[in-house]
Each structure stands twice: as C-alpha cells, then as structure tokens.
Amino acid sequence: MQSMADGIREFHKKREVKTGLFCEKHQQTELVRYKHPVSIDYDPLIHGELVDGLQVTSMSYCTECAKEGIYQHHQQSSAEIKANEDFLNKSKYGKYSLLKTQSLVGKKSLWFARFNTFKVNGLEEQNVLNQAQRIAREYTQGQRFNTVFVGGAGRGKSHLAMAILQEVNENLKDDKFSTLFINISELIREIKNSWNYSDTKAEEERLTTLMRTVDLLVIDDLGTESTFSKDNSWVQGVIYNIYNAREGNTIITSNLTGKEMRSSYDDKIVSRIMEGSKNSVVKFEGITDKRKSK
C-alpha cells in the first residue's frame, strides 16, 4: 500500500512545470513552478524574475535549495521533538498536556467541548450523551475497547468524542495517561505541508508514531469528501498501520454508514475499526444538524 508521503510527492510532481531557467547555486537544476498558484507556509526560495511567454501563474523555485532549507528546518524540529519527549516522560503532567499541545483539531471551538456543553433537545440526543458518558467512565476504569460514532454531519459526534477525551484526560492526569485528537483533514494537510519540498519522512513518522502509541486516540471525520479522492489511499495506509499497532482505545467519528465504509475502505481496515467495538457503536440518528439550528 502506497505511503501517504509517497503519494504526496507524486501529487506535487504532477503539478510541477519546468521553466527553462536554472538555479545560480545548483547550476544543473532547472527551476520549476506549479501549474496553479499554491499556498505554502514558508519561503519557497523564488529565483529571479518570471519570464514572459512562460505563462507562469505562480512562483518558480529550485527543488535543491528548498530541500536544503527544509533539512535545516527538520534538524531544528528534531531537537524540539526530543525535548518534548523528555518532558513528557519526566514530567508528572507531561502526558496530560499532550492533548492540548499535539492534537490536530479542525474547529478551534472543539476545545470547549464538554458533556455539560452538549445541547440536548430530545431523547435521541440524550441517548447519545448517556452512551458517551458511559464510554468515558469505562475508559477511565481501564477497560480497553474501540468506539465508533456514526451519523450525518453536524450531529455532535466530534463534540462528544472530544468531551470523552477531556473527561478521561482530567480524571487520569495523575496516572500519566495520554490522549490525542486527530482530525483526518488536518492530518493530511500537516503531512502535505511537510512534503512540499522535503524528502524526509520525519513529520509523517512523528505523527503516526504518536497516534500508534498514545493511550486513547480519537480519529475524527473519517470519510470526509477530501479523504475519498486523491488522498484516499494515503488515509487507508495510515489508518491500517495505526489500528494494526493499537490494542483498542481508539475512537472513530465518521459520516459514513457501515455499508458505505465497507464500499470505500479495504475489508481489513473495516475489520480493524469494528474490532472490539461491539457495545460501543453509537449511531447519531434522529438528530438534526446542529450547525443549522444555531
């Protein structure tokens, strides 16, 4: 199965166009540009003036210069990662802080998600809230199992998944118990950013290692539209490797029904997701879209 990093590299290669210009430093390296404008988080090392007739719609850059810059960035990042790991291992509350410092959360408002902030407007919402509170108690008591939240968008799945993490994290902060919330779209974006100009897999390995080893993990929004086009094979590889390494204590939220999940994912992945979740598949049915009711 193709790694996410290899897929991202292939995706960017298809978008690059040679310009006929060459780098002043790496004289054998032809400058390239993207077919369409691209948003990046750091200096792409633009070289010289854009040339008329090339129909350049975005910056041109040297891939070798960019690699050198990213290598230096990752060298610095490695030292920071090591310092963070030492802190997590030595500090009484190091693992407690992992949820806030390492999670990839799509909507920042989720940080305020608690059981007492979940709006209950009917029996269906009370039912999913009760189940989420039961699941949190069982995780706190040391039980190991997987949880699956399924239902339409805007039903409160992400809210209750985060509420479970917050509850467990607070109750077990003296026990060096770690929790982590990873939104799939944010994960893809983070790895793409690290792969724009770099040949190292450091960021992908750091994130997937964290997801494999954390005590309680939420994988949020599995099945969003962005994960079912060019990114689907990367997501499948990541999810399978993570579930293969974990022994329960993983919460999935998804807009997909069981049938849709089986038609979109490899059978081995669906089997891993459902494994150990017999009494903790929560269906968010009969609940209106909370985004429209605001």
Q: What pLDDT is attached to residue 36?
A: 46
For residue 271, count other CB atoms closer than 10 A to its CB. Answer: 12
Q: Which amino acid is at 142?
A: G
What stretch(es) of the chain map to CATH 3.40.50.300?
A: 93-284
Q: What pLDDT is attached to residue 43?
A: 36
Name 77's Cβ contacts closer than 8 Å, sequence gap at least 6. 202, 203
Sequence-ordered alpha helix ranges (H) in the chain = 4-15, 63-90, 98-102, 123-140, 157-171, 184-195, 202-213, 232-245, 258-264, 267-274
Give me the CATH topology for the region 93-284: Rossmann fold (3.40.50)
Q: pTM of the full predicted structure?
A: 0.69
For residue 46, count other CB atoms closer than 10 A to its CB. Answer: 15
Is-contact 32 19, C-beta < 8 A? yes
User: What is the spatial distance between Cα 230 and Cα 14, in angstroms, rounded to a whole number?
Assistant: 12
Is-contact 211 131, C-beta < 8 A? no
One pLDDT digit (tens) per residue for the chain, 294 residues:
555 445 545 545 555 667 677 777 777 777 666 554 443 333 333 343 333 333 333 456 666 666 655 445 444 455 555 555 555 555 556 688 889 989 999 888 999 999 999 999 999 999 999 999 999 999 999 999 999 999 998 899 999 999 999 999 999 988 889 999 999 989 888 887 777 655 557 778 888 889 999 999 999 998 875 455 555 777 788 888 888 888 889 999 999 887 888 877 888 888 888 887 878 999 999 888 766 655
